[in-house]
Structure 1
Amino acid sequence: MIGEVVVIGGLNLRDGVSLEEYDRLGERMYNIVSSLPGFLSVKSFKADDGEELTVFRFASEAALEAWRTHPEHVETMKRGHAEFYASGFLQICKVIREVGPFEHA
């Protein structure tokens, strides 16, 4: 959909982090973002070389901004940078053209 915003992220965890706590926070964040108006989807992918990417889709920049500034998300991201992440990146992309969806009979 034109106007859709896609966020691509790759985050690398520090050695020795509590995966149980990280997963718990991730589940909490998913429960929040998936209830926000304009959230479309999130999917994660792992390449053969071990790199992991997550792709979030939002209907608009306003929907992404609601997520980016959600108080619990802000606090969790601060905690993530302080405790969990060794490195990473985010790319925020605006859809300029879309083809499909389509099906072949």
Structure 2
Amino acid sequence: MIDEVIVIGDLKLRDGVSLEEHDRLGGRMYEIVSRLPGFLSVKSFKAEDGEELTVFRFASEDALEAWRTHPDHIETMKRGHAEFYASGFLQICKVIREVGPFEHA
């Protein structure tokens, strides 16, 4: 059975925010989440139209919940909403099927 959970996020920055501070906080959050049991990966992708999506992978809902409720993450989310983000969304998805990995010779 597959328990993996995927979080897809698209957060739009406000005009005039401190990118340096935003990136500093993002780095700090990555330091924390990457040490949590069940964290698998995070990657960001930017489309030609400028939309940027971030994809987080967790081994289970429990692993995601540990991240969602981490005190430093909670405080940073509050700050993000108050200072950095104009709009956005998160989608939390359960993996229902996985094909692969596979290799071709």
Shared topology, TM-score over 0.5? yes
1:33 is matched with 33
- 3-state secondary structure, aligned to 2:35: coil
Alignment map for 1:8-19 (pairs within 5 Å):
8-19=8-19
Task: Please list every run of 5 or more consecutive structure 1 residues that lacks an aligned counterpart in the other structure.
Answer: none
TM-score norm. by structure 1 comes to 0.99
Q: Deviations over 1:25-83 (max 9, x none)?
A: 00000000000000000000000000000000000000000000000000000000000
1:2 positional shift: 1.0
- 3-state secondary structure, aligned to 1:83: helix
Residue type of the alignment partner of 2:2:
I
Residue type of the alignment partner of 1:57:
R
Task: Please list every run of 5 or more consecutive structure 2 residues that lacks an aligned counterpart in the other structure.
Answer: none
Alignment map for 1:1-105 (pairs within 5 Å):
2-105=2-105
Residue type of the alignment partner of 2:27:
E
Instruction: List structure 1 runs of 4+ shifted beyond 2 angstroms.
Output: none
Query: Sequence identity of aligned pairs in percent?
Result: 89
